[in-house]
């Protein structure tokens, strides 16, 4: 278990918790409108209550808004020579926007971390399960085989098996410990595997057969995901070429020609803005393509 660490956080959890005490009532009310946060915190392995996390996020977001106002107000009033009311409006508006954006992102952050953990689990799950199946087939008990996989360096799956081993050694039945792991995980592959194992244990059937079936299903599904991504990649490559080559060159030329026909010259700043917008679209496309890639180690 661990405490949350937010992106661009200013205060640590302990400091934010002390300062955020004055917002405790407000945090409690806000937390009621984010019911899924409780489960996201558990899946992200954060040792915080829902109300504590909301206070933590709220305090850091308020400070970010205050810093934005402290920076923008002097720039607007002193350097840009705007009037005091206009400078106050700019500073307050910008700080309010930043506060809102960061607070929303912070509330969604545990879900993002939970999904990241799930992706890391899926990367090494097949290799970890193959090792587990091999050890069980060699006559090693399930408890010991899981403990061995936990020490084998299979990334996130080894970490999950390490927690499972601790639960079992502390006295929890294996089926209950497996169920707890499945409920805490966002990985549908791991959930499917664990429920198959639990059903086999409760039915008294051979767990090796269940593991082999699950491994074969996971491999087939991963291969299908790779083939699907390869087909999608043709479309994304075409779109990227359009925004990276066609639109900047042809679009820029057309803008210049059309502006001359309309007797309204294209300013340098407008052309730079056009190029920057094209670049940002390219970056967004690259990140989108990366996000579509199946999280599989091959």
Residue 79's contacts (CB-CB under 8 Å, 6 or more residues apart) are none
288 shares its domain with 201: no
Name the 3-class secondary structure at 263: coil
Cα–Cα distance for residue pair 106/275, rounded to 1 Å: 32
The CA–CA distances, whole Å, from 217 to 154, 211, 246, 291 equal 20, 10, 43, 23
Q: Is 113 contained in some domain?
A: yes
Task: Identify the domain boundary among 145, 171, 206.
Answer: 206
236 shares its domain with 282: yes
pLDDT higher than 70, residue 263: no
Count of C-beta atoms within a 10 Å radius of residue 11? 16
pLDDT higher than 70, residue 191: yes
pLDDT at residue 166, as a whole number: 92
Q: Is 7 contained in some domain?
A: no
pLDDT at residue 1, as a whole number: 44
User: What's 266's DSSP letter?
Assistant: P
264 shares its domain with 195: no
| Section 168-181 average pLDDT | 90
Query: Mean pLDDT lowest for which of 19-23, 129-133, 161-165?
Result: 19-23
Q: What does the mean pLDDT of the chain come to?
A: 82
Task: Find the helix packing angle between 174-184 and 156-169, rounded to 10°.
Answer: 140
> Is residue 193 within 8 Å of 129, Cβ to Cβ?
yes
Task: Identify the domain boundary among 206, 231, 251.
Answer: 206
Query: Mean pLDDT lowest for which of 9-18, 55-64, 153-162, 163-172?
Result: 9-18
246 shares its domain with 267: yes
277 shares its domain with 193: no
- Total domain count, the chain: 3
Q: Is 211 contained in some domain?
A: no
Query: Mean pLDDT lowest for which of 192-196, 208-212, 269-273?
Result: 269-273
50 shares its domain with 88: yes
> Is residue 56 within 8 Å of 16, Cβ to Cβ?
yes
This prediction's pTM: 0.70
Q: Is 6 contained in some domain?
A: no
Beta bridge partners of 46: 2
pLDDT higher than 60, residue 195: yes
Q: Is 3 contained in some domain?
A: no
27 shares its domain with 98: yes
Task: Identify the domain boundary among 83, 98, 119.
Answer: 119
95 shares its domain with 36: yes
Residue 294 has phi, psi (to 5 degrees) of -60, 135
Q: Is 225 contained in some domain?
A: yes
For 71-118, how does the pLDDT look when each residue is reduced to its tens digit (9 = 90+)?
Answer: 887 877 776 667 778 888 888 888 899 899 999 988 998 888 888 888
In terms of residue numbers, what domain contains 275?
A: 220-292
Query: Mean pLDDT lowest for which of 91-105, 142-156, 276-290?
Result: 276-290
pLDDT at residue 148, as a whole number: 92
> Is residue 50 within 8 Å of 43, Cβ to Cβ?
no
82 shares its domain with 127: no
89 shares its domain with 20: yes
111 shares its domain with 67: yes
For 264-277, how does the pLDDT look when each residue is reduced to its tens digit (9 = 90+)?
Answer: 556 666 677 777 78
Q: Is 85 contained in some domain?
A: yes
Cα–Cα distance for residue pair 72/78, rounded to 1 Å: 10
pLDDT at residue 39, as a whole number: 87
Q: Is 4 contained in some domain?
A: no
148 shares its domain with 105: no
The CA–CA distances, whole Å, from 116 to 7, 110, 149 equal 15, 10, 21
pLDDT higher than 50, residue 257: yes
| Section 221-239 average pLDDT | 84
pLDDT higher than 70, residue 296: no
Helices vs strands, H then E, count in the chain: 12, 0
What percentage of the chain reaches a pLDDT higher than 90?
Answer: 8
Among candidates 50, 11, 57, 46, which has minimal Cα distance to 28? 50
């Amino acid at each position: 278990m661990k405490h949350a660490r937010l992106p661009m956080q200013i205060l640590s959890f302990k400091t934010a918790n002390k300062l955020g005490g004055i917002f405790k009532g407000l945090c409690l009310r806000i937390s009621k409108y984010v019911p899924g946060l409780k489960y996201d915190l558990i899946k992200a392995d954060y040792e915080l209550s829902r109300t504590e996390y909301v206070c933590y996020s709220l305090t850091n977001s308020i400070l970010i808004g205050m810093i934005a106002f402290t920076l923008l107000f002097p720039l607007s009033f002193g350097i840009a020579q705007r009037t005091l009311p206009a400078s106050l409006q700019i500073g307050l508006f910008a700080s309010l926007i930043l506060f809102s954006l960061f607070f929303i992102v912070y509330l969604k952050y545990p879900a993002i971390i939970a999904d990241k953990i799930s992706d890391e689990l899926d990367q090494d799950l097949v290799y970890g399960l193959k090792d587990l199946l091999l050890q069980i087939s060699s006559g090693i008990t399930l408890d010991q085989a899981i403990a061995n996989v936990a020490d084998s360096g299979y990334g996130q799956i080894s970490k999950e098996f390490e927690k499972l081993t601790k639960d079992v050694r502390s006295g929890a039945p294996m089926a209950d410990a497996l169920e707890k792991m499945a409920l805490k995980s966002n990985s549908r592959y791991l959930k499917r595997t664990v429920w198959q194992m639990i059903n086999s244990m409760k039915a008294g059937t051979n767990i090796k057969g269940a593991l082999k079936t699950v491994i074969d299903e996971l491999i087939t599904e991963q291969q299908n995901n790779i083939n699907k991504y390869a087909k999608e990649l043709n479309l994304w490559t075409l779109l990227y070429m359009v925004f990276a080559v066609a639109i900047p060159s042809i679009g820029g030329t057309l803008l210049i020609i059309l502006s001359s026909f309309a007797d309204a010259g294209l300013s340098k700043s407008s052309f730079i803005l056009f190029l920057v917008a094209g670049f940002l679209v390219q970056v967004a496309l690259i990140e989108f393509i990366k996000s579509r890639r199946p999280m599989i180690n091959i």
